[in-house]
A and B are shown apart, each in its own frame.
Chain A
Amino acid sequence: MIPPALYLALSAVIFTIGVIGVLLRRDAIVIFMCIEMMLSAVGITLIAASRYLHSMDGVIFVFLAMTVAAAEAAVGLAIFVLLHRIYKGVKVDEINLMKW
Chain B
Amino acid sequence: MESAKLEVKDRTEMGSAASRRFRREGLVPVNLYGLARPPRAMVAGQHELEQLVDRGYHIVELHQEDKTQVVLIQDVQWDPIGSSIVHADFLRIDRDKPVHVYVPIRYIGMAPEVSGSNVEKLLEDIHIETLPLQIPDEFVINLSRLEVGQSITCGDMVMPAGCKLFGHHETDVIVVNHVKHGGGEAAETEGDESVEPEVISKGKGDDEA
A, B bound: no
Interface residues, chain A, CB within 8 Å of chain B?
none
